[in-house]
Structure 1
Amino acid sequence: MDSKDLLKRVKEDNVKFLSLQFTDVLGAVKSVDMPIRHLEDVLKDGAWFDGSSVEGFARIQESDMRLKVDPDTYVVLPWSSPDSRRARVFCDIYTPAGEPFEGDPRGALKRILAKIAERGWKFNIGPEPEFFLFKGDVTTNGVHPVPHDLGGYFDFSSFDEAVVVRTALMDALDQMGLDVEVGHHEVALGQHEIDFRFADALKAADNVLTLKYTVKAIAAQHGLVASFMPKPVHGINGSGMHCHQSLFDTKTGNNLFFDAKDEAKLSPLAYSFIAGQLEHARALAGVVAPTVNSYKRLVPGYEAPVYIGWAQQNRSALIRIPRYTEGRDKAVRAELRFPDPSSNPYLAFTAMLAAALDGVDKKMTPPKALNNINLYHLNKEERTKMGVSELPGSLA
C-alpha cells in the first residue's frame, strides 16, 4: 500500500482519528493521535516529536525526531466507536536530516533483515505470546492480582468467561488482518495463549504489538485486566513467548532449514543457526528476557527453559525441534523457548537473528542433541559431564 492507497482507505473506512505508533527501547508502545484531516500533510512531511522524552532515544539538545508512516501497517481498531472510528499505523523514526534513526527498534530489525535479503533469505517467525487475565483493577497499590478463572491447559467450559473473551479477541484480530491459528487456555490459572501463523520477522513483530494492544483493550471491555508480565503470580507457570524460526529462500519459497536426508530433517544451515543461538544464549537473555521479573519465570519446575541445549521434541531444552510431518517441509523449524512477552519484539528478533547468523557465518556446529532427556531431572554434576550450561539467573 502506498500513501495514495492509504488516503483512499481511510475515506472508505470512515476513519476520524489515526494513531501513529512506535516503541521505545523497552518495547512500550507510544502513540501520537491526530484527526484524519491532517494525514495528507503527515504522509508528506512526517510528524515531529520530542525524542528526548522517549526512553533510550535522544538527549535534550538533539531531541527533534520525525515519524514516517508505514502504510502497510494500517488497520482499523474494531472496538472504536463508529461515530469516531479510529485506525492505527506503525511508524519508522527519522532524524531531522532525513536519515533513519539508528536507535529505532523497528529500524534495527529492518536493517538486519535487509542484510539477509541480500543473501536471498527471509527470516520467518511464529511467536506464541502468553498472558494472564485478572479480575478487577490490579493497578492500585497493594492490590494482589487474582486470576479470573481456575482453568488449566486446554480446559473448556461452555460457561467459561475466558472462551467469551478469547472469541472476542480472535474476532478482533481477524478483523485487523492477523492470521490467528489457535487460542486456548494455558497451564496456569487465568493464563491464555493466542497463536498466529508465522510471518516474516518484521510483520511478526508488528503482530506481537498488535496482539498485546488488542488483548488489553478487549479484556478491559469484559472488566478484566490483561498482563504480559513473565511471572505475575508466584508458584504457578509464568508467561513465555516461544518463537518458531526458519529461513526461507526468497526466490523459490523453499524452507532452507529442511533436508530430507538428515535424521532430524535439518539442513547444515539450520544446524549452524541453532549453534549460533546456543553459543550466544547467555548474552541473548538480556534482550529476549529483559526484566527482573523475567528471571522469576526462568527457574526449574514450571516448564520454562533453564539449561542451554537443543533437542527434538524435548520441551526442557532451550531450543526444540518440533516433530516433522511427512510432506510439510515448510514447517521444519527451530523453537527458541526462553523469550518472554516483556521483551521488545523488534529488538528480540534482531538479536535472535544476529546470534544465529554468527553461527551460520562461522559454520558452527551445535553440541549433541539432548533427546529423551528431562534436563530438570539432572543434577549439576550430570549436566557438567554433558556440557550443559545454564542461563543467567538474573540481569546482574
Structure 2
Amino acid sequence: MAQILAPSTQWQMRITKSSANASPISSKTWSSLLFKQNKKGAPTSSSKFRVLAIKSENGTVNRLENLLNLDTTPFTDKIIAEYIWVGGTGIDVRSKSRTIPKPVEHPSELPKWNYDGSSTGQAPGEDSEVILYPQAIFKDPFRGGNHILVICDTYTPAGEPIPTNKRHRAAQVFSDPKVIAEVPWFGIEQEYTLLQTNVNWPLGWPVGGYPGPQGPYYCAAGADKSYGRDISDAHYKACIYAGINISGTNGEVMPGQWEFQVGPSVGIDAGDHIWCARYILERITEQAGVVLSLDPKPIQGDWNGAGCHTNYSTKSMREDGGYEVIKKAILNLSLRHRDHISAYGEGNERRLTGKHETADINTFSWGVANRGCSIRVGRDTEAKGKGYLEDRRPASNMDPYVVTSLLAETTLLWEPTLEAEALAAQKLALKV
C-alpha cells in the first residue's frame, strides 16, 4: 500500500461555486485510451471509428463532444446531480441524474428521490418504490463545473433501510461514542481486473491464450508488461478532481490487474469514498470500451486473485503502547474469524487458498511482514510499538461499509468471554 500520513480534515466533500470551462475528462483524454491504429487491412472496430470521428473537424461525434463539454455555469445556476446507489447484487452501482436549482455544499441541501426497485432486484413489482437519501457529495469529473456526484443509501417509503443498504448499519456503528472517541482510520487497497469486451478475458492477454508467467508485471512499465495504464491514470486524476481521498495506484501481479488506494479515511467516509471511486472507474471503463471486474479470482490457476486489503488503526493503536492494543484487536478478530469471512465478499473461497499471498480461508493467522497471513503487521509498526494492522482477507468485491464497520465493531465494541480470550491468546501466542 502507498504510504499514508494523515486523513483528510473534511468528513464531507464541500462544493465550491467556482466553475470550470469544460469537463475535466475530455475527448483528448479518451483518445489515448482508445485504439489509434488505422492500418490498411486491419479489422474495423467501433473504438477506432470513434477516434477517427473525434479527430474530424466537423464529425458528428466531435460535435457531440462539444455539447458534452459545454460549460453551463455562465448561463444558469442550475446544476446536475448524479444520484448513485448500490444495486440489488450488493456490488453493482446504479445512478440517475436530477437537475438542482443551484449549487449545494452539503447532502442535507439535496432532496430525497426515488427509483424503481423492481428493476434493480430490490423491491417487488407491486410495491417497487425505493427512496434515495443523499449522504455524501463529490465533484463530477465527467460534467465538470458545479455538477456533483451524490452517494445515496436506500430506504422503503416508510423509512426502513432495505436489505442491501449496508451504509445504515455502518453509520450506527461509527456514531457509537466509543468508536467516535477512537477516531478509526481506514486505508483500503482496491484491486480490480480489466477485461476485453465481449470476452471474459483480461486486457492485453491473447484471446483464449495466456501471457508469460507472473513475475515481470507488478509495478512494471512496457507494452509487453503493462496493460491499461491510461485507464488507471485517468481514474487517478478523476478521483483527485472529485475530492476522493485517493492515495496512490499501481499495476498488480497478474497482468491486466490494477490497484488504487483510498485513505486514510475516518469512519463512514471510507465506504463513501470507495463506492464513489468504484463508480468513477465504472464510467471510465465504460467510455474506454473495457469491462471492469471485481471478481476475487477472475482467472483460475497459477494467477493472483484480487483483494481489497483493509488497513486499520484506532487512536489508541497510533499512540505509545499501541502495539499491545493491536494485539488485543487481533485476538478479537481471531475469535470472530468466521463472521468476518462470511461478510468479506462473494467467491472469496476461490482466492483465499493459502497460495498467491493469501491465508487459507478456514485458518486465522497473523504475523509481522507476512503477506501469507490473515492479518499482517508492518515491520515499522513493530519497531515503533504503535501503528496499524492490515486485514488481508477482504475480497475485491467486498462492501466497504460492511468491512470497515465490522472491524470497528469487533475491535472496539465486542467483548469476548474471558475463557475464549485466554484460549485464543494461547493459540495465537499473543503476549498481551
CA shift in 2, pair 1:27/1:144, >3 Å: closer
* Matched letter for residue 175 of structure 2: A
Secondary structure of the residue aligned to 1:181 is: strand
Matches of 1:228 and 1:171 in 2, distance apart?
A: 21
The answer for the alignment partner of 2:396 in structure 1 is 341
* Partner-residue secondary structure (3-state), 1:120: helix
1:18 is aligned to 2:81: yes
- 1:245 corresponds to 2:302: no
Aligned to 1:66: 131
SS in 2 for 1:308: coil
Measure, in 2, the Cα distance between the counterparts of 1:80 and 1:28: 22
Question: TM-score when scaled to structure 1?
Answer: 0.74
Contact 1:24–1:104 under 8 Å retained in 2: no
1:311 aligned residue: 367
**What amino acid maps onto 2:169 in structure 1?**
A
Report what 2:425 is aligned to.
367
Tell me if the contact between 2:227 and 2:255 (Cα under 8 Å) persists in the aligned partners.
no
Structure 1 counterpart of 2:337, from 281, 284, 288? 281
- When the two chains are superposed, the root-mean-square deviation of aligned CA atoms in Å is 3.7
Identify if the C-alpha distance between structure 1 residues 119 and 39 changes in structure 2 by more than 3 Å, giving closer, same or farther: closer
Within 1, Cα distance between the matches of 2:112 and 2:217?
47
2:166 corresponds in structure 1 to 105
Shift of 1:230: 0.6
Counterpart pick for 1:91 among 135, 152, 172: 152
1:166 and 2:221 correspond: no
Structure 1 residue 127, shift from structure 2 partner: 0.6
Q: Identity, % of aligned pairs?
A: 21
The match for 1:267 among 302, 317, 324 is 324
Q: Aligned partners of 1:224, 1:237: CA distance in 2, in Å?
A: 20
- The answer as to whether partners of 2:262 and 2:274 remain within 8 angstroms in 1 is no
Secondary structure of 1:110 counterpart:
helix
Aligned partners of 2:285 and 2:292 also within 8 Å: yes
Query: Which residue of 256, 265, 269 maps to 2:316?
Result: 256
Distance 1:118 1:190 in 2: 38
Q: How does 1:184-199 map onto structure 2 within 5 Å?
A: 184-199=250-265
Q: Displacement of 1:336 after TM fit? A: 0.5
Quick check: 1:276–1:357 contact (8 Å CA) kept in 2?
no
Query: How far off its partner does 1:238 sit?
Result: 0.5
Instruction: Tell me the CA shift for residue 32 of structure 1.
Output: 3.1
Q: Distance in 2 between matches of 1:20 and 1:203?
A: 17
Pair 1:79 & 2:142 matched: yes
Of residues 273, 276, 292, the one that matches 1:210 is: 276
Partner AA of 1:28 in structure 2 = D
Secondary structure of the 1:256 match is: helix
Q: How far off is 1:66 after superposition?
A: 2.5
SS of structure 2 residue aligned to 1:74 = strand
The counterpart of 2:190, out of the listed 99, 110, 129, is 129
- How far apart in 1 are the matches of 2:229 and 2:179? 44
Which residue of the partner structure matches residue 201 of structure 1? 267
The number of equivalent residue pairs is 346
- Structure 1 residue 157 and structure 2 residue 222: aligned? yes
Q: Answer whether contact 2:138 2:243 (CA < 8 A) is retained.
A: no
Distance 2:155 2:369 in 1: 43
- Structure 2 residues not aligned, in runs of 5+: 1-9, 20-71, 206-210
Which residue does 1:300 correspond to in 2?
354
TM-score by length of 2: 0.68
Q: Map of 1:345-360 to 2, 5 A cutoff?
A: 345-357=400-412, 359-360=414-415
Cα displacement (A) at 1:119: 5.9
